[in-house]
A and B are shown apart, each in its own frame.
Chain A
Amino acid sequence: MGILNGPRRLEDLFVNTDAFPTESLSVQTKTERSVYKLFKAVRDEKSLNTIKLNRESHIEYISDGLKGLSKYLVVLDASKPWLCYWMLHSLDLLDYELSTGLIKRAISTISKLQNPTGGFCGGPGQISHVAVTYAAVNALATSGIKEAYDLIDRENLYKWFLKLKRDDGSFIMHEGGEVDVRGAYCVLSVATLTNLITPELTAGTAEWIKRCQNYDGGIGGVPGIEGHGGYAFCGLAAMEIMGKTDLLDIPLLLRWASSLQMQMEGGFQGRPNKLVDGCYSFWVGALFPLLEAILTKRQYEKDVANSEDTQCIYRPLFEREALQEYILIACQSPKGGLIDKPGRGADHYHTCYCLSGLSTSQHHVIYDFERAKGEDLDSGARSLLWEEEITNRVVVGDPDNLVKPTHPIHNVTLPNVRKMIEHFYGKREL
């Protein structure tokens, strides 16, 4: 289906203004017009089937970044591991084989950013930060070799995590830093990959995240605040890691997440009545495999209880083709790299999350709970149960547009998640 081949004409997809103009409406109208123009051109040329992911130019953009960044990017001088992760993960998704030299450079760069008191920091001489630590560990996971994993000082990492934990179950981002749901997600994702999840680490955290869910189903940064695509992903993924998704109102979260897909643009907004942004292709897009897995599990448990034998797997619950149309037609910078929305310039953050969203919409990654055989598995083992349902791929445009499947919890490609978990937990049957 998608948008260009959908049941409604493009011209019928403009937002219904109710003849009641406000600021939100005027910026929305402007944005959807810019996307409409691009879509219309593709429709008129009938070129949707040949639309290409400009793989080579994106690789070139990232390779340039790996060599060096301009002075203006000093604003990311406290985010060096993020830069490494965005670039390496993008290359990995694009199926660009990371050379031994590049992997060695990555390990060496990140080795300079680990603090003896635990965790990783944004740049040499800085203090450790939870989000940066998540990026560093994901970059090491993407490097995919033992030498990268062995770099992580797990003992001090764990001690540091505990220092950041507050009595209410939430985590601060760094010593003296702010609290929000990113903290919980980053700690738990890293702790899963490195086999550091303990009852002590997770005590109270699920109850705190539950408080961040809003009346509309979205999850905000802290209790009381508006639901937001980025925080919703962090909240749901953290709950999934802890096996505590039953504390959330899942049908309401699904409704909210579904409402964020734009009918003209095909991409996602991060909050109701805000504008589409390519980065939510992942943050909101990846909510769906998680939600589908939770609903499937509930259905399965119900069927088992009723001694019924169904093979119910929830089908994808968002419009996968529409999202790909947005990313491929509206989010590729002609100079390489991907963008927020038409008119914006490329950056490494949007490149990473547009490609991660592209992956999430091409591959149907499902949670194979039957393989768990009802056992009470640790979070590492559960992360290994995510796998691609190969028969359910959808690739818009050129068939070569296919990128690698990414893990819906960690956002590292599936083979690299498996390698790291097998390293830290020992080889397992799952």
Chain B
Amino acid sequence: MTLEAEVWNDITPIPQDDGPDPLAPIAYNPEYAKAMGYFRAVAQKDERSERALDLTEQIIEHNPAHYTIWRYRQQILFFLNKNLYEELDFVDEQIKYNPKNYQLWHHRQIIVEKLMDVSRELPFINNVLNDDAKNYHAWTYRQWVIKTFNLWEGELEFIDKYLDKDVRNNSAWNQRYFAIFFNPNKPTDDFLAQEINYVIEKIKLAPNNISPWNYIKGVIAKSDKDIDILEGLCKEVEEQKIISPHALGCLVDIHESRARNGSATDKAEGIKICITLAEKHDTIRKNYWEYRKVTLASI
């Protein structure tokens, strides 16, 4: 796309005023510099026109992180009553090339808030997650969509697919927690008992995978259960001669919780495991396990 002179002949572009000898000046592409010159001129008049809308598109092509331009674009779109479904098409295209751009995702949210039509959103997000199953913006936006439009149903099944594909996807585990505990329908104790069994099976697939270990402790903290219930799992991992610092760390938690209830044997056992972790199995976290050891000793 180029800037057609006749569209702009009534506008005097305003050059960028960086002052003398600025730090880190960017060698602008002349098209971009020209577009920005017109932008400053029309923005000064707060012109909300078709040509200004085109201009924002051209600038965004060069720099999709141009938050001022996005804001201006939104003002023009709403002022001109533009077809916002076409705007979603535009965002669809843009996000393909810039899936980790704050402005684009926020722009989409603003458009959808205005449309109050969510029909395109989950398929769109799924596309992005297909390319990058841990895209932080996509998950953040997904949570907003689910909360705003009350789309909790089916979310767990959706997450199952992601965990079946990659049980180490921490974003999917986090989404699982969101789907259960941020849902206005609170989970029953029965449901949580089932959920704990589901996670135990996932842990057994790969006991060195930190994500479900973190998750299961989060679920237990929200349920009527105690961390004790994981002792069997930890022992099972041990019996299979698998060394998992997460299983050992979980045992430390279990012993610590019993030590707080007065058990001296558990205190001693917990300290022993901390030492093994610090010296042998998780040496990168030596300082951390020593801290845990000191905490245990002071109970």
Contact = CB atoms under 8 A, between A and B. Distances in A.
Contacts of A83: 23-24
A270 B120 CA distance: 31
Contacts of B171: 226, 271
Q: Is the interface on chain B under 10, 10 to 19, 20 to 34, or 35 or more residues?
A: 35 or more
Given A16-B244, A122-B68, A272-B214, A68 B27 contact: yes
Given A69-B25, A77-B63, A254 B170 contact: no
Contact of B291 (A87, A123, A314): A314
Contacts of A314: 291
Contacts of A121: 68
B134 to A, nearest CB: 7
Nearest to A19: B206
Contact of A87 (B23, B43, B285): B23
Contacts of A175: 71
A392 interface: no
Contacts of A22: 165-169, 206
B56 interface: no
A227 B20 CA distance: 43
Contact of B170 (A67, A224, A273): A273
A15 B105 CA distance: 34
Contacts of A73: 26
A215 interface: yes
B284 A262 contact: yes
B21 interface: yes
A316 B63 contact: no
Contacts of B21: 105, 108
A317 B283 contact: no
A23 B210 contact: no
Nearest to B110: A176
B287 A319 contact: yes
Contacts, number: 229
A315 B16 contact: no
Contact of B207 (A18, A25, A173, A273): A18
A16 to B, nearest CB: 4
A66 B24 contact: yes
A127 to B, nearest CB: 5
B219 to A, nearest CB: 8
Given A261-B284, A261-B285, A319-B287, A75 B64 contact: yes
Contacts of B167: 20, 22
Majority-rule SS of B interface residues: helix
Interface residues of A, number: 86
B63 A174 contact: no
Contact of A1 (B205, B214, B286): B286
Nearest to A262: B284
Given A69-B26, A272-B214, A273-B169, A124 B17 contact: yes
A273 B208 CA distance: 11
Contacts of B18: 109, 112, 124
Nearest to B163: A22
A316 B211 CA distance: 25
A341 interface: no
Contacts of B109: 178
Interface string A215-244: 110001110111110000000000000000
A271 B170 contact: yes
Contacts of A16: 208, 243-244
A83 B18 CA distance: 14
A226 B139 contact: yes
A80 interface: yes
Contact of A69 (B24, B29, B139, B284): B24
Interface string A62-88: 000111111101111111100110010
B16 A123 contact: yes
A71 B28 contact: yes
B187 interface: no
Interface in B151-190: 165-171, 174, 177-178, 182
A127 B205 CA distance: 51
A106 interface: yes
A152 B195 CA distance: 54
Nearest to A249: B221
A31 interface: no
B140 interface: yes
Contact of A66 (B23, B63, B208): B23
Contacts of A176: 71, 74, 110
A215 B206 contact: no
A125 interface: yes
A222 B279 CA distance: 37
B299 interface: no
A333 interface: no
A75 B28 CA distance: 10
Nearest to B24: A83
24 contacts: A6-B283, A16-B243, A17-B208, A22-B165, A23-B133, A65-B24, A78-B65, A87-B24, A106-B23, A109-B22, A112-B18, A112-B22, A125-B43, A177-B67, A178-B106, A215-B215, A216-B218, A224-B143, A225-B178, A226-B136, A254-B288, A259-B210, A262-B284, A273-B168
3 closest cross-chain pairs (CB), A and B: A215-B218, A24-B168, A216-B214
Given A71-B28, A74-B29, A215-B214, 10 more contacts: A17-B208, A18-B206, A20-B167, A23-B168, A66-B23, A75-B64, A174-B71, A214-B177, A255-B288, A272-B210
